[in-house]
Structure 1
Amino acid sequence: MQPTAPDAASAAVDKAAVPAPAGTADRGPRARSTTAYLRYGAGKAGGAAVSLLAVLVTGFFLFRLIPGDPVKTMTGGRPISAEQLAAYRREFGLDLPVWRQFTDYCGKALTGDLGTSYQFRTPVIDKIGEALPNTLLLTGTAFVLYTALGMFLGTRAAWRHGKLGDRLNTGLALTLYSVPSFWLGLLVIIVFGVGLGPVPGLFPTGGMESGGKEGFAYVLDVAHHLVLPVLTLVAVEYGQTLLVTRSALLDEMGSDYLTTARAKGLRDDLVRRRHAVPNALLPTVTLVFVNLGRTVAGVILVETVFSWPGLGGLFYQALSVPDLPLVQGLFLFFASAVIVMNTLADLIYPLLDPRVGR
């Protein structure tokens, strides 16, 4: 006998009420989202690992193209015998075939051993550890200032685009961003360090401290030496953040959700801060993390111009020898900082915009 329509409907309801066997139920949108994010993160981490391997290979062969004999440079041009020259080469492994030097270098680098500096006769990782705090003090201070200044002025310029303030901000940012940092540093030294005409020099022109000071006086002395290099970095770098923030915000200006927010009676300032700016953050986040990686790497030209004892100055000093282990170690450290920060930016993207990584 065929079941009636009501009986068939009841049977269907009863069947639907029976729980599905374990493992067959849908995991839900949150679980799917987590799985997609983990897959996305694994892909980005794999790409970062490949980039680091490429940096390792490039750093080894690139700096061996620099002309000069490290051993002869270390002896200061003094005449030495062939036996002494051979002993130095054996000490630093320069007598080995290039392929053997490369495999030894890669094996040690993967364990954190970046070799021993030719000129300082100390482990490269120790020299990096000594100079890193000085670089972070300089470039970290500048990073906070030019990021905050660039984002603030960029949002203001975009929200009032086409007006006099926007044109002045954009023109000044483009001009300063196009200026070579070393040239601007020299100009800053002339104007504020040496003095120009009746205006005397106000700030030290080089170094990190005057020496002989302790406690709070030492802190003030270091801050006094920080002014000119930080001013140079902020002047050069804030323009990039301003221009990227302004461009990203201009792309959001004509969106329907901003019109809806204004129609609801929200103040213009709230529309900008709560709706427009958060949705325009992705390009700025990328730039901030790239700049953060460069903060760890230091700024070679600015540190050299101001004789700042950081990683940038150490890199320039190592290139002049050439001190191959120190140059390779610093190059790997710089590149690793940028790659890691780029990867972190990629991992933060889906948290700011769920559409990324799907």
Structure 2
Amino acid sequence: MASEVEFYYDIACPFSYLAVSAFRSIPRENPIKIQWMPIYLDSIKDRAGVGSPIVKGDCSAKKVWMERDLKMMCERYNVPINRSPRYEDQDGTPQKLLASIDNNGDREKLSLALFSHYWLKDCDIQDSKVLENIAKEAGLSLNVQQQIARGEEPLKKLNEEANKLGIFRVPCFRVSRKIYFGPDRLHFVERELGNNQASELRLRLPSSATPGHRAKLTFYYDFVSPWSYIAAVAIERLVEQLKPVTVDVEWVPVSLPGLIQANKAPVEAALDAANPAFLKATGRDMQMQIALRGVQELWTADRDLSDDKVVAEVIEEAGYDAKDILSKAEEDNIKDQFAQNMSRALKAGAFGVPAFQVNDGTLIFGQDRLNIVADMLCGWNCNL
């Protein structure tokens, strides 16, 4: 059982603030030690080839979702936040200051103070005078300008070490030589720390739903996405677990390449970008059993669903007439249905899969948000 966690973070990242706030609030029987590892997000993401649209970048469906997700997660973990700070960290100044401090306890005090002043009090954490005052409040007497200059090399070293470990974003927790990314992985971290009962946060259970409660779950998916496969299998279990709540699942196949293209170009271009084999498969997917069988065969048996013969076998194994369904798949109305699916998903704000809507409400993205979907199906509401 581990008793120490390395926490990789950037003060300017709201999810770092959320993660450590939620992590420190978890009650534990045994004390743990957090090693505070400041890194600079821009340096990490540049090397990894990924960006963080919530920090910088043009407006996009993904940015809208991340801002919405942040608000929802902060509400669920009861973490107060000012989501629109006026000041941006342009060059990693606070991270250099933190990296210059060798004592882990002092680094923790200053980190917590910086998180609070940036994400609650909207302070300019690039201003050396502001930083000096924050340090004093944390009980530290520092020559901030000298410390910032001194911290450049240590921060560079921390960034390089993080890259070697495979850390590509923040926040990240490293425990028992395993890396967990994001505030939604805290239950995995807790298990490494000895809490075998740790699970994803649930705020509304089936027993708390009103008698006879019924809800609709719309599931946007694509065969090519392994995350869609995980979600498809989980949904089947979820429907059973949520009883006596009745869940009506609507399976809506879409094209992942098309969604990606649509967020860069007109919808017509997105439809053209769709895989022809997928367009053909749309007609086959209208029944839940075929869809579930298909993703299972692709991701567990590695069967080639671009081969009509294999698809026919999958349909027959699911208990349907393959010849009838495949002939219908060639009809124009099936392609029209696909176009409607894509337009519907894009209108809801989809930029990837899997994605979900409960009772045609706010779009929820990712199989790692199914605990939130479950709460919504049981009647939980978030003011988004």
Both structures adopt the same fold (TM-score exceeding 0.5) = no
TM-score (norm 2): 0.21
TM-score (norm 1): 0.22
| Structure (1/2) with the larger strand percentage | 2
